[in-house]
Every structure is written in structure tokens, then in C-alpha cells.
């Protein structure tokens, strides 16, 4: 994917197969995923008052999925702030590089699955909000 000067955020809708046994939700590259997944991590056992994120990435694309329960993601690309409530595995929040994000308001037993385009790299993080604001144009 091309990186634009401002990061962007969008909601993907994954196909679901529903029958009497339950629901099967599928994220399958290259149809439903805009990047190749190199890493998956999961946030779980989350206290309700926990705040995760609090950073932006220089090159990393991510998709956040509420595998169970719900939580709120606030995003800021330096131009606009948005708030997204994720409450179903069928919605994946695509976050490109250049977006500050915070995740909070975790419901009981919620879990957040994150699909990431790159391996973990601390140098890809911008953890200081003022530095983030200076980095976006």
C-alpha cells in the first residue's frame, strides 16, 4: 500500500458464514486484507480502565479486531480525530502509518486481535504526541 502524507483509518467488513452452529468470520488475503500479515498479537485480560496504544507508527499497517466484547479506539492523523467502537469480529479497523491511536473502554472479557504488516520494531514507534504532531504534514 502507498503511504499518503496523512495517515488514514477505515473500517473493513469481513464476510461471515452463519448457520445453526454459529458464525464463522473470515479475513483472507488478498481478498479482505490490504497487506501481508507478518505478526499477530492479542490484547486480552484487559481491565475496564486500561488505556492501550498511545503511539503512532512510521511504517506499520495494522487491523484491529474485537474478537470478543467491545472497546473504543480514538484515532488522530494530525488533521482529524475520530472515535470507533469495535464490537464485532466482522469489523476490522485498518490503521495506516501516521495515525496516533488510543484504545480504551474495554468491556468485560474483551479481546483485541491485531494483524500487523511488519515484525515488532521499537524504532517504528512514535510514542511522544508532540513528536507525532511535528512528524505529520
Which positions lie near ligand TYD, rule CB under 6 A? 39, 41, 43, 52-53, 55, 120
Q: 23 or 82, CB closer to ligand TYD?
A: 82
Q: Where are the beta strands (DSSP E) in the chain?
A: 9-13, 16-19, 22-25, 39-43, 52-57, 62-68, 71-76, 81-86, 91-95, 100-104, 111-116, 125-126
- Give the span between the Cα atoms of 30 and 54, in whole angstroms: 29
What's the distance, CA 127 to chain centroid? 16
Rounded to whole angstroms, the Cα distance separating 98 from 34 reads 17
Nearer to ligand TYD, 5 or 41 (CB): 41
Is 120 or 134 the residue whose CB approaches ligand TYD more closely? 120
Residues 95, 75: contact at Cβ < 8 Å?
A: yes
Closer residue to ligand TYD (CB): 41 or 129: 41
Q: Which residues are catalytic?
A: 55
- Other beta carbons within 10 angstroms of residue 78's beta carbon come to 18
Amino acid at each position: 500500500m502507498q503511504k499518503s502524507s496523512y495517515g488514514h483509518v477505515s473500517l473493513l467488513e469481513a464476510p461471515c458464514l452463519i448457520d445453526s452452529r454459529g458464525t464463522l468470520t473470515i479475513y483472507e488475503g488478498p481478498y479482505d486484507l490490504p497487506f501481508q500479515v507478518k505478526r499477530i498479537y492479542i490484547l486480552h485480560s484487559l481491565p475496564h480502565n486500561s488505556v492501550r496504544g498511545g503511539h503512532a507508527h512510521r511504517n506499520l499497517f495494522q487491523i484491529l479486531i474485537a474478537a470478543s466484547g467491545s472497546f473504543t479506539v480514538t484515532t488522530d492523523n494530525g488533521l482529524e480525530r475520530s472515535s470507533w467502537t469495535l464490537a464485532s469480529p466482522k469489523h476490522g479497523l485498518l490503521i495506516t502509518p501516521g495515525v496516533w491511536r488510543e484504545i480504551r473502554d474495554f468491556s468485560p472479557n474483551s479481546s483485541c486481535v491485531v494483524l500487523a504488516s511488519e515484525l515488532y520494531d521499537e524504532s517504528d514507534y512514535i510514542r511522544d504526541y508532540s513528536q507525532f504532531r511535528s512528524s505529520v504534514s
